Amino acid sequence: MASNDTRRRAEIAKIHIAAKRLGLDENTYRAFLMREGGASSAAELDQAGRSKVLDAFKAAGFIEGHVQIAKLEDFDDPEPQMRLVRCLWADLAALNALGDASDKALRSLIKRTAKVDSIRWLGRMRRPK
């Protein structure tokens, strides 16, 4: 069984990871801790405060455990917009937010929303004048 200190350190680490994954800046993070747990630092939170903060992070979208988030450099598409689309699609797939994460589903989404038949043509789209 984990000691109280080991559990405390693990919970504090989860709080820091959650704040980073949710993209909270320092001020927002401190305000969140104060509002949800009653302290401005994760180290100052008691067991109940850490539990409340973690529950609030989960309600805000934090998913516990290892989630591989893709990087733009992971994709070799020639156009930056194409890399971004693929990266975001991979992130949604990693979070299990897609019913179908296949390339076919991505192509269908692109055709439906951008009105082009291929992701290759997204980089060539121009803004209206």
Q: What is the pLDDT of residue 84?
A: 81
Q: Is there a domain that residue 65 lies in?
A: no
**64-99, pLDDT tens digit by residue?**
775 656 665 666 777 777 778 888 888 888 777 888
The two three-digit tokens of residue 117, written as one number: 């038949």
Q: Give me the domain span that covers residue 94.
A: 72-124
pLDDT, residue 129, reads: 46
Same domain, 77 and 110: yes
Chain segment 19-45, per-residue pLDDT in tens: 888 888 899 999 999 999 999 999 999
* Residue 11 within any structural domain of the chain: yes
Q: What is the pLDDT of residues 110-124, one digit of tens each?
A: 889 888 887 777 665
DSSP state of 122: G
Domain boundary residue among 13, 32, 59? Answer: 59
In a domain, 112, yes or no: yes
Is the pLDDT confidence value at 48 over 80?
A: yes
Q: Which tokens belong to 95?
A: 């979070």
In the chain, the amino acid numbered 63 is I
Going by pLDDT thresholds of 50, 70 and 90, the confidence category of residue 17 is confident
What's the confidence (pLDDT) of residue 70?
A: 63
Cα 85 from Cα 90, distance rounded (Å): 9
Provide the pLDDT for residue 90.
84
Determine what percent of the chain is predicted with pLDDT higher than 70: 84
Please indicate, yes or no, if residue 76 is contained in any of the structural domains: yes
Number of separate domains in the chain: 2
What separation in angstroms does the CA of 63 have from each of 33, 44, 49, 97, 112? Answer: 18, 23, 19, 12, 29
55 and 10 in a common domain: yes
* Angle in degrees, 0-180, between the axes of helices 103-114 and 80-94, rounded to the nearest 10: 120
Do 44 and 77 lie in a common domain? no
Question: Residue 113: what pLDDT?
Answer: 87
